[in-house]
């Protein structure tokens, strides 16, 4: 978009940034270039500023305002500084990586029968779920340590299925890690984490966990009626009471328990109540994650479980506005708050394509993330027989598949470097699957609605000075 103007008798063609983000609240406005993330907060006179920024009014007639818009990249001149380039993507192998969360699928079995389970019957072999053995666990840790940069960080994430069904193996890995594996790479910071439904709590777990600072993530989809409807035991009985007891016991032991809720049509209408329940249980943080519409078997979930995109956005906004958790503690806001505060635009939302979340199944096969387990073309390696070239090829394929600048619809969105496209799993799982086009479209519309809600609230929070990390952005008015 451009407009010919005259300044001092010299023709100047003003240009509006193609990545211009313009938000309005009454007589206030917030403008920024999506590739630079330097917000301009207009405290009054929003109508005029927005018209000038959109070149609906001559910038030359308002030189001070035009200068401010130029400084923030919202307006541009052909003879001025070039626009900020798009964030760059790395080339070649991502290893050695500076940090890694290594997911160990210690068992594919689970004691719950969640109505929306992502783990497919085929890919997770749920009819005869395999179990990881000590040799595979050790090979996985050594595989990861060999691919970490000096001074890096390795988090061992015990996952499943339900990992506490294999507590003896989990405990053995922790003990071996402390007694032997730390010495392999004394420069590496080693941490432990468990993602569990916490319906069973081994008697010695709190002591073992406290000794190494182990952290926990547990799904609680809402108060008892909601949790028991969505996440019953395999027998059909309640799971909520046992989970709540275990959370309380871990908290009394001084351990950190983060809580997560899968958003479905059952709980999307009252997400503030879900967040309030998380707070009441003492959750260290609260994650609100829309249901994945496709399983790892690439099979669509029941459409009746999917919350409409606009309802997701309204619910997340209401949960944020309730203020029970800080932005850093409330997902998905926590995913973008750092990018907004540090002004770090990104083209990829997660670390999977960079080799940061390798997932090792019971047989030692390695996948870029938990959502790709069991899919042959997404197997990137095996800890018993490493294939370095294959790992680089698979990660590179995923990387360019989820790049917002490579996606035709994302490419024209000014918010793309803030949201970075959201979780890319559904884009990968539904690619080249015409039967899943409807689910792909739902996942995209839900992701975009969530991104708008998250971005707008975080930008206003930052601009209005309610963020402790706010720096010296200029304000007009």
From 274, 259, 257, select the one nearest 312 (Cα to Cα): 274
Give the contacts of 434 (CB within 8 A, at least 6 positions apart). none
Model pLDDT, residue 339: 86
Model pLDDT, residue 311: 97
> What value does the mean pLDDT take over residues 256-261?
98
User: Could you name the CATH architecture of 97-399?
Assistant: Alpha-Beta Barrel (3.20)
> What's the chain's average pLDDT?
90
Model pLDDT, residue 1: 45
Model pLDDT, residue 476: 45
Burial call 3-33: b when 16+ CB within 10 Å, e when fewer: bebeeeeeebebbbbebbbbbeeeebbbbbb
> What value does the mean pLDDT take over residues 15-29?
92
Give per-residue pLDDT as tens, 355-412: 999 999 999 999 999 999 999 999 999 999 999 889 999 999 898 888 998 888 888 8
Give per-residue pLDDT as tens, 189-207: 999 999 999 999 999 999 9
Give per-residue pLDDT as tens, 59-91: 989 999 999 999 898 998 766 555 566 677 766
Residue 467 has pLDDT above 70, yes or no: no
DSSP 297: T
Give per-residue pLDDT as tens, 124-155: 888 889 999 999 999 999 999 999 999 999 99
Model pLDDT, residue 477: 44
Find out whether the peptide bond into 367 is cis, omega within 30 degrees of 0.
no
> What value does the mean pLDDT take over residues 47-53?
95
Q: What is the sign, positive or negative, of the torsion defined by CA atoms of 459, 460, 461, 465?
A: positive
Sequence ranges of the domains in the chain? 2-85, 97-399
- For the whole model, what pTM was predicted? 0.91
Distance set, CA 88 to CA 35, 123, 201, 409 (Å): 12, 34, 45, 19
Q: Which of 107-111, 116-120, 344-348, 378-382 has the lowest mean pLDDT?
A: 344-348
Beta bridge partners, 41, equal 30, 475
Q: Which of 127-131, 234-238, 320-324, 420-424 has the lowest mean pLDDT?
A: 420-424
Residue 470 has pLDDT above 60, yes or no: no
Structure tokens at 169: 């193996």
Give per-residue pLDDT as tens, 398-431: 988 889 988 888 888 999 988 888 888 888 999 8
Q: Which of 172-186, 200-214, 285-299, 389-403 has the lowest mean pLDDT?
A: 389-403
Asked whether 163 and 362 are in contact (CB, 8 A), the reply is no
């Amino acid at each position: 978009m451009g407009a010919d103007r005259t300044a001092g008798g010299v023709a100047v063609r003003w240009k509006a940034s193609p990545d211009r983000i313009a938000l309005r609240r009454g007589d206030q406005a917030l403008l920024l270039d999506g590739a630079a993330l330097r917000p301009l907060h207009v405290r009054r006179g929003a109508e005029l500023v927005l018209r000038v920024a959109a070149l609906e009014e001559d910038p030359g007639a308002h030189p001070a305002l035009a200068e401010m818009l130029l400084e923030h990249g919202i307006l541009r001149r052909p003879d001025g500084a070039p626009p900020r380039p798009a964030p760059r993507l790395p080339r070649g192998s991502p290893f050695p990586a500076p940090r890694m969360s290594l997911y160990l699928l210690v068992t594919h079995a689970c004691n719950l029968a969640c109505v929306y389970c992502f783990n497919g019957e085929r890919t997770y072999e749920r009819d005869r779920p395999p179990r990881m053995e000590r040799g595979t666990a050790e090979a996985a840790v050594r595989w990861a340590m060999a691919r970490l940069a000096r001074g890096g960080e390795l988090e061992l994430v015990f996952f499943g299925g339900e990992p506490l069904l294999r507590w003896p193996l989990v405990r053995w890995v922790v003990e071996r890690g402390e007694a032997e594996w730390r010495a392999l790479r004394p420069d590496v910071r080693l941490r432990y984490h468990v993602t569990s439904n916490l319906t069973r709590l081994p008697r010695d777990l709190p002591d073992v966990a406290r000794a190494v600072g182990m952290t926990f993530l547990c799904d609680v989809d809402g108060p008892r009626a909601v949790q028991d409807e969505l996440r019953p035991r395999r027998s059909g009985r309640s799971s909520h009471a046992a989970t709540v007891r275990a959370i309380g016991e871990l908290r009394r032991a001084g351990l950190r328990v983060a809580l997560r809720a899968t958003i479905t049509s059952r709980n999307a209408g009252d997400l503030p109540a879900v967040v309030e329940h998380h707070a009441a249980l003492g959750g260290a943080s609260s994650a609100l994650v829309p249901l994945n519409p496709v399983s790892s078997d690439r099979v669509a979930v029941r459409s009746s479980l999917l919350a409409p995109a606009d309802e997701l956005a309204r619910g997340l906004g209401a949960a944020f506005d309730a203020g029970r958790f800080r932005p850093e503690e409330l997902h998905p806001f926590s995913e973008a708050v750092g990018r907004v505060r540090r002004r770090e635009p990104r083209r990829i939302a997660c670390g999977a394509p960079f080799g940061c979340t390798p997932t090792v199944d019971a047989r030692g096969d390695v996948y870029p993330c938990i959502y790709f387990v069991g899919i042959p073309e997404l197997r990137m390696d095996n800890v018993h027989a490493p294939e370095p070239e294959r790992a680089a090829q698979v990660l590179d394929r995923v990387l360019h598949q989820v790049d917002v600048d490579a996606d035709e619809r994302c490419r024209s969105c000014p918010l793309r470097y803030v949201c970075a496209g959201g979780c890319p799993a559904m884009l990968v799982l539904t690619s080249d699957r015409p039967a899943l086009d409807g689910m792909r479209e739902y996942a995209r519309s839900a992701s975009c609605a969530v991104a708008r809600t998250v971005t707008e609230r975080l930008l206003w929070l930052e601009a209005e000075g309610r963020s402790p990390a706010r720096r010296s952005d200029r304000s007009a008015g």
